[in-house]
Amino acid sequence: MQDNQIITPTIEPKIQLNNLSKSAFGNDFVWGVAMASFQNEGAWNLDGKGESIWDRFSNKKFRIKDRQNAQIACDFYRRFEEDILIAKSLNFNTFRFSISWSRILPGGIGKVNPAGLEFYHQVIDCCLENGLEPFVTLYHWDLPQVLEDRGGWTNREIINWFSAYCEVVTREFSGKVKNWMVLNEPAGFVGLGYMTGYHAPGRMGMSNFLPAIHHAAMCQAEGGRIIRKNVPDAVIGTTFSCSFIEPFTQKPTDIQAAKRTDALLNRMFLEPALGLGYPVEELPFLNKMIKKYVQEGDMEKLAFDFDFIGLQNYFKIVAKNAWWMPYLGAAEVKPQKRNVKELTAMGWEISPDGMFQILNQLSQYQGIKQIIITENGAAFEDNFEEGNINDKDRVAFYESYLKHVLKAKQAGVKVNGYMAWTLTDNFEWTEGYKPKFGLVHVDFNTQKRTVKRSGKWFRAFLG
């Protein structure tokens, strides 16, 4: 593919790096882009793929804004080579993507779909041929619907189902893929999918939430063990969406509310993996989970010696005491209520210092060997100017966050990589196609890709 097929500007904007340099991060620092199977691939029922919970969920009325779905999405299934070549042209050295469980095992377990395996072989081969190290995520939220029909993450059998899926994938790709991630943001898919019902599969309540927590935590560690067994010299991680939590005031009640929020969002899955158990002191409701769903020997099996922890950071959270909130007794004070002006198009507070603070917080755990930022990015409106997309707010976002990543690294935090979310505009879960997170604009009517100013900024920065 020629470069002018990727970028069609009339007038190139001048790229300013403002004294931030790639070399300051060191020669071994990982630079990549991240994406997810459901949000990008499309081809939802082609070549033997089974239905996922997000296929089902996004085709229900009133679940997704503007009643959109991801049946085509970015058409990555057909256009993966184009997108990988774009990533190469922007000078990244890694490409993070996830594997669709239902594309590999349409029935969730049992018979393997050869066409699914072949697709990911092609993606991996394309990465390697173009000098991009593949980082593979085993589970990025798209559980096979047939397994959800049997209870999904609330059914303890999912430990066996997930293990069987991991066995198939890691054996198949062990000769090509060295870098693996087990789960993407378990607090996200468990909390939003099995407690609030805001995400697929749309279940609510503690009776769903509690077993899903424990079973996901068990799978997190078991997946790591299976990778270690099947992939020689594997580099194994798992990812957590973590935010720096700040109390609204210095009142003891708000300070305690912030600690409970931190335990729920940042610690609930991380600490079991580190052998520290669940944070029951701050979250007493977890005692009920332990009593009902934890079997003999489980607590020891929750731990796994990960080679790295993937940090996914988008905003900080300010919490206050809220007696009316069941179980947690805390509530977020939205940035709009605090008169914060620096917001993304999602209404999220832009807080690069929050990135520094959460990196520093994670560095206090002795069991964390290294941290790779596996997602960081922002949605902004794209401004079309003379044939270019001048997303200057996104450029400023990345520049400010990277400066604070560098600040953490220079302070001694073992942060060894950064992956931008995301390469192309995509299907943003319940928000549909309106939020634009990409370094590359996608016209969803024609699937034409156009590199934005932010993508060109990375090209200059990493060049």
- Spatial separation of the C-alpha atoms in residues 128 and 46, rounded to whole Å: 25
pLDDT of residue 8: 33
The pairing of strands 317-321 and 440-443 is unpaired
The pairing of strands 317-321 and 245-247 is parallel
Q: Which amino acid is at 326?
A: P
Q: Which three-class secondary structure state does DSSP give residue 271?
A: helix
Q: Which three-class secondary structure state does DSSP give residue 386?
A: coil
Fill in the DSSP letter of residue 64: S
Tell me, yes or no, if 375 is annotated catalytic: yes
Tell me, yes or no, if 157 is annotated catalytic: no
What is the domain count for the chain?
1
pLDDT of residue 387: 79
For 69-90, the pLDDT digits (tens) are 999 999 999 999 999 999 999 9
**Whether residue 53 has pLDDT greater than 90:** yes
Place of tokens 């790709």: 173
Are the CB atoms for 319 and 333 separated by under 8 Å?
Answer: yes
Please state, in angstroms and as integers, the Cα–Cα distance from residue 355 to each residue in 149, 155, 334, following that order. Answer: 38, 35, 18
Q: Per the structure block, which two tokens stand in for 462?
A: 């990493």
What is the rounded average pLDDT of the residues 223-233? 98
For 349-381, the pLDDT digits (tens) are 999 999 999 999 999 999 999 999 999 999 999
State the Cα angle at 99 between 95 and 103, rounded to 5°.
Answer: 145
pLDDT of residue 9: 36
**Identified catalytic residue from 51, 82, 148, 185:** 185
Are the CB atoms for 283 and 355 separated by under 8 Å?
Answer: no
What is the rounded average pLDDT of the residues 301-307? 98
The rounded percent of the chain whose pLDDT value lies above 90 is 95
Note the pTM of the prediction, 2 decimals.
0.96
Q: What are residue 319's DSSP bridge partners? A: 247, 332
For 155-209, the pLDDT digits (tens) are 999 999 999 999 999 999 999 999 999 999 999 999 999 999 999 999 999 999 9
Is the bond into 424 cis (omega within 30 degrees of 0)?
Answer: no
* pLDDT confidence tier of residue 386, bands split at 50, 70 and 90: confident
What is the rounded average pLDDT of the residues 117-121? 98
- Spatial separation of the C-alpha atoms in residues 249 and 254, rounded to whole Å: 6
Q: Which amino acid is at 103?
A: R
The DSSP result for 393-424, as a single string, is HHHHHHHHHHHHHHHHHHTT--EEEEEEE-SB
* Arithmetic mean of pLDDT over the chain: 96
Are the CB atoms for 462 and 31 separated by under 8 Å?
Answer: yes
Q: Kindly give, in sequence order, each residue whose CB lies less than 8 Å from that of residue 341, ignoring residues fewer than 6 positions away.
A: none
Q: What are residue 450's DSSP bridge partners? A: 441
Q: What are residue 204's DSSP bridge partners? A: 196
Between residues 1 and 252, the one the model is more confident about:
252
- Spatial separation of the C-alpha atoms in residues 146 and 252, rounded to whole Å: 47
Q: What are phi and psi of 66, to 5 degrees?
A: 60, 20
- Residue 249 has a CB neighbour count (10 Å cut-off) of 13
Helices marked H in 3-157: 3-6, 37-40, 53-58, 76-89, 101-104, 114-129, 145-148
Whichever domain contains 99, its CATH number is 3.20.20.80
**Whether residue 11 has pLDDT greater than 90:** no
For 414-454, the pLDDT digits (tens) are 999 999 999 999 999 999 999 999 999 999 999 999 999 99
Strands (E), 258-404: 308-312, 317-321, 330-332, 371-376, 384-385, 388-389
pLDDT of residue 17: 65
State the Cα angle at 206 between 150 and 284, rounded to 5°.
Answer: 135
Place of tokens 């596996």: 374
**Identified catalytic residue from 41, 172, 246, 375:** 375
- Spatial separation of the C-alpha atoms in residues 243 and 312, rounded to whole Å: 8
Domain that residue 192 falls in: 3-462
Q: Mark 402-433 as b/e (b = at least 16 C-beta within 10 Å).
A: bbbbbbbbeeebbbbbbbbbbbbbbbbbbebb
* pLDDT confidence tier of residue 19, bands split at 50, 70 and 90: confident
State the Cα angle at 94 between 93 and 99, rounded to 5°.
Answer: 160
State the Cα angle at 397 between 395 and 399, rounded to 5°.
Answer: 70
**Whether residue 5 has pLDDT greater than 50:** no
- Spatial separation of the C-alpha atoms in residues 187 and 184, rounded to whole Å: 9
**Whether residue 4 has pLDDT greater than 60:** no
pLDDT of residue 390: 95
- Spatial separation of the C-alpha atoms in residues 135 and 154, rounded to whole Å: 28
Q: What are residue 312's DSSP bridge partners? A: 241, 375
The rounded percent of the chain whose pLDDT value lies above 70 is 96
pLDDT of residue 15: 62
**Whether residue 233 has pLDDT greater than 90:** yes
